[in-house]
């Protein structure tokens, strides 16, 4: 910000007019410089409190919260917006209240808590309806639509929300937000491969974005149009739009890196390898310098493509290894952020007057609710089954005692995806979306058919089509071994479900022990960085945590202290931050007056919390040290 403008805005701290100017300027910084917007939020809150300015306090909390969310500090953003909810509700400020719930919907969606996200979106819509706040209502509708489309892949179900939001924005003559809704609609059609219709909506969005005159807003629309043209094979058109996006992205470094990646892909498709190399080198250097891990990883993956095309396998392997390392680093950071956000959620609930819960209790309650209606296949252990499939830890597929080997890596991936969706129909488009995202559609469809054929040949070399374990109907494939397979993760779910339905504690304990004997490690551990395996892996881990906690408590009730210690340690083996595991062990060591074990356990707990979250362990654990 120019010094002259800065001095003007920060002058006369007690003038209300200067506070309004400061608020208006800060709101323009959201997308271009959210960090600076957050810095101004502090000044706004300080002045507003001195002036007892209700609007200023609301705006300060809003700018601080939204700015932090855009910076990726979601937990800090949630705390600020939660304060805004309480403040605006107590002062009857319904505009800020509705907006705050919309912001919380966006924030909880970012951290993957979709139940909370939907709850806040619904509250925003309810308040907006009651007080005729159509602009805020449209924003909440857009949030729900994006969640359904992007996070749940329910493309058709998202469209009514987008259309209703679009209708409201048009009635309000909100050109910028109208472009947002049109862009989202384009995304729904692009997601299912209907690129012609997607292009129509993207072009409408671009027209509206151009009308706003905002460069950073036009960039995303230009990239959307360019990328769909690339997928339609119009590489010249794609290059033209991407180049325009690049020229407009100079003021927004993060946007610029993404645009360079998209433009490089276009050059690769057009076999313009010199231009692709130049663009990727620039993109890689910029992403690395600014620590944009995702953009750096994408650059590496595109560089792998480039050097493979140039028959330089050595350099390709080097970038492939770096991409894997970056993916691992991203995964670790996401895990830490998720745990931090879980702690923030619990703290927010505690501050709002809800009964405090431990982190583990919250996980268990969520897991039980998630799976209370889960209908697992009825599977029993039969060692004589022809097929035995292990997904926990090291993946293996055995047929009649011999390990099945797939001739190609892609066939192995397709089989795993079918297994993940066992006894469910998986469409050709689903496979292509998850396993061939950057490939030509017809080529990907052909590759899928080859992979299915390879799987069938490996599993059933003497099959008849009607008897195949992989059935094809209505352009969808379905894996079903009938009674001829033992599949560990399905058995695990079934046993836990049976345990929770047991009326007798001894029967419950037996089934939980059987289930936990099967859980020998993370689900498809070798695919830890494959996006479509993540939800099932975390869900199964949640079940294992809750099952271990239940079993440890059952052992305590039965006064089987050694078994209780064993399962409490198992809890910590699965999750080094599991409060319930620490509580049980501390209690048992305290009862046994084993103070040396207490001290050792506390030091391990302290190290784990410092490493993973950068904070001290819960205060209540300190009482066991006395």
pLDDT band at 216 (very low <50, low <70, confident <90, very high): confident
| Range of 228-237, 285-294, 380-389 with top mean pLDDT | 228-237
**Arithmetic mean of pLDDT, 155-168:** 87
User: What CATH topology corresponds to 488-625?
Assistant: 1.25.40
Phi-psi region of 215 (alpha: psi -120 to 50; beta: other; left: phi over 0): alpha
pLDDT for the residue 455: 92
| Range of 215-229, 412-426, 557-571 with top mean pLDDT | 412-426
CA 292 to each of CA 250, 271, 287, 533, 613: distance values in angstroms, whole numbers, following the listed order? 16, 27, 5, 24, 21
Copy the structure tokens of residue 297: 């990883």
Report CA Rg, the chain.
27
Is pLDDT of 28 > 70?
no
Copy the structure tokens of residue 137: 């209502």
Place of tokens 């198992």: 570
Please check whether the two domains, 234-327 and 387-482, share a CATH topology.
no
Give domain 387-482's CATH architecture.
Orthogonal Bundle (1.10)
CB of 378 closer than 8 Å to CB of 494 = yes
pLDDT for the residue 384: 53
pLDDT band at 11 (very low <50, low <70, confident <90, very high): low
pLDDT digits (tens, 9 = 90+) for 288-305: 887 777 788 888 988 999
CB of 429 closer than 8 Å to CB of 486 = no
pLDDT band at 536 (very low <50, low <70, confident <90, very high): confident
pLDDT band at 98 (very low <50, low <70, confident <90, very high): very high
pLDDT for the residue 159: 85
CB of 497 closer than 8 Å to CB of 374 = yes
Neighbouring residues of 13: CB distance < 8 A, sequence distance ≥ 6: 47, 50
d(CA 98, CA 62): 12
d(CA 343, CA 426): 36
Is pLDDT of 359 > 50?
no
Give backbone dihedrals phi and psi of 523, rounded to 5 degrees, phi first: -65, 130
CA 404 to each of CA 213, 282, 464: distance values in angstroms, whole numbers, following the listed order? 59, 44, 19
Residues in the chain: 626
- Percent of the chain topping pLDDT 90: 27
The β-bridge partners of 399 are 387, 402
SS (H, E, C) 211-279: HHCCHHHHHHHHHHHHHHHHHCCCHHHHHHHHHHHHHHCCCCHHHHHHHHHHHHHHHHHCCCHHHHHHH
How many C-beta atoms lie closer than 10 Å to residue 52's C-beta?
8
pLDDT for the residue 506: 83
Give domain 234-327's CATH architecture.
Alpha Horseshoe (1.25)
- Percent of the chain topping pLDDT 70: 84
**Arithmetic mean of pLDDT, 335-343:** 53
The β-bridge partners of 478 are 471
Q: How is the chain split into domains, by residue range?
A: 34-117, 234-327, 387-482, 488-625
CB of 226 closer than 8 Å to CB of 190 = no
pLDDT for the residue 15: 58
Q: Which residues of 96-106 are buried (b: 16+ CB within 10 A; e: fewer)?
A: bbbbbbbbbbb
Taking domain 34-117, whether its CATH number is 3.40.50.300 is answered by: no
Is pLDDT of 375 > 50?
no
d(CA 345, CA 360): 13
pLDDT for the residue 369: 41
* pTM confidence score: 0.51
Is pLDDT of 372 > 70?
no
pLDDT digits (tens, 9 = 90+) for 395-430: 999 998 889 999 889 999 999 999 999 988 899 988
Residue scoring higher pLDDT (152 or 362): 152
The per-residue pLDDT of the chain, averaged, comes to 82
Strands (E), 461-513: 470-473, 476-479, 485-487
């Amino acid at each position: 910000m120019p010094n002259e403008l800065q001095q003007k805005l920060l002058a006369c701290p007690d003038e209300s007019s200067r506070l309004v100017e400061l608020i208006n300027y800060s709101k323009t910084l959201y997308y271009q410089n959210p960090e600076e917007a957050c810095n101004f939020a502090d000044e706004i809150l300080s002045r507003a409190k001195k002036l007892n300015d209700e609007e200023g306090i609301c705006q300060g909390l809003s700018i601080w919260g939204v700015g932090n969310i855009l910076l990726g500090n979601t937990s800090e953003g949630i705390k600020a917006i939660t304060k805004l909810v309480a403040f605006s509700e107590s002062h009857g400020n319904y505009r800020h209240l509705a907006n705050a719930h919309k912001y919380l919907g966006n924030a909880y969606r970012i951290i993957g808590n979709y139940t909370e996200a939907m709850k806040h979106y619904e509250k925003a819509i309810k308040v907006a309806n009651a007080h005729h706040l159509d602009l805020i209502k449209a924003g909440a509708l857009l949030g729900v639509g994006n969640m359904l489309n992007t996070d749940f892949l329910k493309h058709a179900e998202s469209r009514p929300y987008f259309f209703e939001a679009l209708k409201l924005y048009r009635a309000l003559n909100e050109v910028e937000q109208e472009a947002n809704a049109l862009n989202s609609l384009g995304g729904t059609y692009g997601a299912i491969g209907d690129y012609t219709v997607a292009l129509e909506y993207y072009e409408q969005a671009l027209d509206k974005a151009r009308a706003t005159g905002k460069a950073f807003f036009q960039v995303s629309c230009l990239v959307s149009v360019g990328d769909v043209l690339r997928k339609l094979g119009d590489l010249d058109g794609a290059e033209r739009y991407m180049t325009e996006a690049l020229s407009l992205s100079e003021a927004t470094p993060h946007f610029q890196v993404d645009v360079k990646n998209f433009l490089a892909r276009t050059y690769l498709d057009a076999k313009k390898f010199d231009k692709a190399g130049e663009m990727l080198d620039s993109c890689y250097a910029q992403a690395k310098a600014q620590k944009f891990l995702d953009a750096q990883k994408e650059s590496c993956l595109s560089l792998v493509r480039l050097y493979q095309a140039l028959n330089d396998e050595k350099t390709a392997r080097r970038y492939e290894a770096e991409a894997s390392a970056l993916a691992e680093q991203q995964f670790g950071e996401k895990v830490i952020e998720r745990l931090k956000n879980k702690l923030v959620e619990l703290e927010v609930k505690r501050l709002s007057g809800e009964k405090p819960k431990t982190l583990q209790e919250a996980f268990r309650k969520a897991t039980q609710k998630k799976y209370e209606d889960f209908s697992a296949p009825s599977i029993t252990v039969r060692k004589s089954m022809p097929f035995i499939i292990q997904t926990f830890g090291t993946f293996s597929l055995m047929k009649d005692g011999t390990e099945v080997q797939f001739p190609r890596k892609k066939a192995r991936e397709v089989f795993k995806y079918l297994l993940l969706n066992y006894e469910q129909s998986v469409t050709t488009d689903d496979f292509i979306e998850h396993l061939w995202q950057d490939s030509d559609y017809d080529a990907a469809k052909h590759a899928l058919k080859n992979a299915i054929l390879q799987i069938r040949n490996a599993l059933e070399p003497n099959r008849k089509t009607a008897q195949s374990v992989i059935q094809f109907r209505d352009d969808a494939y379905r894996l079903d071994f009938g009674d001829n397979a033992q599949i560990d993760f399905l058995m695990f779910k079934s046993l836990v479900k049976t345990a929770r339905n047991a009326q007798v504690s001894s029967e419950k304990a037996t089934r939980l022990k059987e289930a936990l004997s099967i859980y020998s490690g993370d689900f498809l551990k070798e695919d830890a960085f494959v996006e479509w395996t993540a939800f099932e892996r975390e869900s199964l881990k949640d079940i294992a945590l809750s099952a271990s906690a239940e079993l440890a408590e059952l052992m305590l009730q039965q006064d089987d202290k050694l078994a209780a210690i064993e399962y409490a340690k198992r809890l910590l083996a699965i999750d080094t931050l599991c409060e319930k595991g620490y509580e049980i062990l501390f209690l048992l060591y305290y009862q046994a007056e084993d103070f040396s074990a207490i001290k050792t356990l506390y030091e391990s707990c302290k190290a784990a919390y410092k490493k993973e979250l950068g904070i001290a362990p819960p205060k209540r654990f300190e009482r066991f040290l006395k």
